[in-house]
Amino acid sequence: MKRMSLPRFHHAIPVDDLDAARAFYGGVLNCPQGRESDSWIDWDFYGHQLVTHHAPGARSEHSNAVDGHGVPVPHFGLLLTIPGFHALADRLRAAGTPFVIEPYLRFEGQPGEQWTMFFRDPAGNAIEIKAFADDTQVFAR
């Protein structure tokens, strides 16, 4: 049995339409699908387990100001390489995915310099993707 290296995260999110989740996570984001039932689907979210659970209903949202942008709260996401970040941004644009915050370089020339972008899945869940200029600066102050 092959063992995964740790740490990895497991995250579950509500979606109101499993077929739309399948089209977005499997099609647009190109995440391999894992197990599923009538009420949930597992995804390989870049090596992490993401589960989309069918949960219709209203969701509340807030935002916090970061670097002059209204960052949606709650949100989840990933750290990618800079080339991986730009490839995914291109894939999202090609699929017509609207951005909450367009890809841009945040904190340029400062500790923690990073590319970042925010977008939503079809259920409205906010996703942030980042790529640090220097991975040793992920937790820099």
Strand intervals (E) in 68-110: 69-73, 75-79, 99-106
Q: How many Å apart are CA 13 and CA 77, to the nearest integer?
A: 12
- Which regions of the chain carry the CATH code 3.30.720.120? 10-54
* CATH class held by domain 66-137: alpha beta
Residues of the chain with CATH 3.10.180.10: 66-137
For the domain made up of 10-54, the CATH class stated in words is alpha beta
pLDDT tens digits along 25-61: 999 999 999 999 999 999 999 999 999 999 988 777 7
- Compute CA distances 133 → 15, 79, 104, 105, whole Å: 33, 11, 12, 9
Copy the structure tokens of residue 6. 């740790």
Q: What digits encode the pLDDT tens for the residues 95-124? A: 999 999 999 999 999 989 999 999 999 999
pTM of the model: 0.89
- Alpha-carbon gap, residue 64 to 90, rounded angstroms: 26
Q: Strand 40-45 relative to strand 48-54: parallel, antiparallel, unpaired?
A: antiparallel
How much is the pLDDT for 60? Answer: 76
